[in-house]
Amino acid sequence: MLKLLTAALCATICLSDLAEAQDRQRLGYGRLLTNDFFGDGEDRWRTGGFQSSRVWGPAWEGMAPSGFGQLLELRLAAEILAPDDIRTPDPSDRPYAGALSIGLHTHFARGPMEYSVGGDVVFLGPQTRLDEFQDAFHDTFNIVPPSDAVRDAQIENDILPNLVAEAGRSFQVGQASSLRPFVEARAGVETLVRAGVDFTYGGGLGQGELLVRDGVSGQRYRVVQADWTGFSFVVGADIARVSDSEFLPSERGIGLEETRERVRAGVMWRSETGISGFYGLTYLGEEFEGQDEGQIVGAIRWRVPF
């Protein structure tokens, strides 16, 4: 845990110094909370996560700059993965895992194409203290906590790199909607290639804004925001080819599903006073051979300006 805090502090200081040295300014902040309690309520598998972004760059002009590294995003994330039964799990179920990460990403545009490229340092295992956090949270709200056996069998301590790259292009469909196909590649903690599409209708979500994709749900959240009011509706889907996952170690006899599907929908609302909220649902397909069905996770974000 001390290593994590030290790395986070160093990254924040270095990023702030770099922003000042190259005449950058803070452009925005965004976050998204995911949990299956807001979805199917089952408390299993991809059970909970949080991702936040802080962005620095030159003056925002409605789109990312063309230069690689001009706009920088400091990304922090946490995720808990658990077996279906957190007391006495089936031997073929996935092991418990906690993951904390800190990373630096850049967003840029070349012509109509939008790119996001970056890397994260991911901390796995009991060193993250996420099992203790979940245990205390469940105890507070009188929810059954993970058993000692489940926590003892969790993914071991490790520190790993994770590289992420995405390319997408937005197409205007009429006056009130847009379509954005994208491709994504990840290598490190999980190695995969993904292709998908996002469709947005109504409001102003994404118009003159910077959106960042959540790693668990695939939902995109606002980081650099424009002034608009009303409702925006989003739907999307993607499919991935997966070659490796540290969360599903083969040495434990877990068979990795080579394809993963996600289907999502959500609604974004923003008032004239700047109060805003987002709620979305994502269906996650099976990730390993012992998983007999998919799951639904919810994603929420709210903002009340002061």
Calculate mean pLDDT across residues 237-247. 98
Per residue in 207-218, pLDDT (tens digit) is 999 999 999 999
Task: Find, among 160, 115, 119, 151, the residue nearest to 133 by Cα.
Answer: 151
Beta strand 113-124 with 158-169 is: antiparallel
Q: What is the pLDDT of residue 221?
A: 98
Per residue in 129-154, pLDDT (tens digit) is 999 999 999 989 889 999 999 999 99
Q: What whole-number distance in Å separates Cα of residue 95 and Cα of residue 81?
A: 8
- What predicted TM-score, i.e. pTM, was given to this entire model? 0.92
Per residue in 171-217, pLDDT (tens digit) is 999 888 999 999 999 999 999 999 999 999 988 899 999 999 999 99
Q: What is the pLDDT of residue 22?
A: 59
Q: Which domain holds residue 174?
A: 2-303
Q: What whole-number distance in Å separates Cα of residue 212 and Cα of residue 103?
A: 13
Q: Are 304 and 268 in contact (CB under 8 A)?
A: no
pLDDT at 125 over 70: yes
Q: Are 134 and 151 in contact (CB under 8 A)?
A: no
> The domain spanning residue 264 has which CATH number?
2.40.128.140
Task: Find, among 5, 48, 41, 39, the residue nearest to 137 by Cα.
Answer: 48
Q: What is the pLDDT of residue 175?
A: 84
pLDDT at 11 over 60: no
Tell me the pLDDT band of 14, cut-offs 50, 70 and 90: low
Q: How many structural domains are present in the chain?
A: 1
Report the alpha-carbon angle 284-219-194, nearest 5: 60
Tell me the pLDDT band of 20, cut-offs 50, 70 and 90: very low
Q: What whole-number distance in Å separates Cα of residue 245 and Cα of residue 128?
A: 18
pLDDT at 6 over 50: no
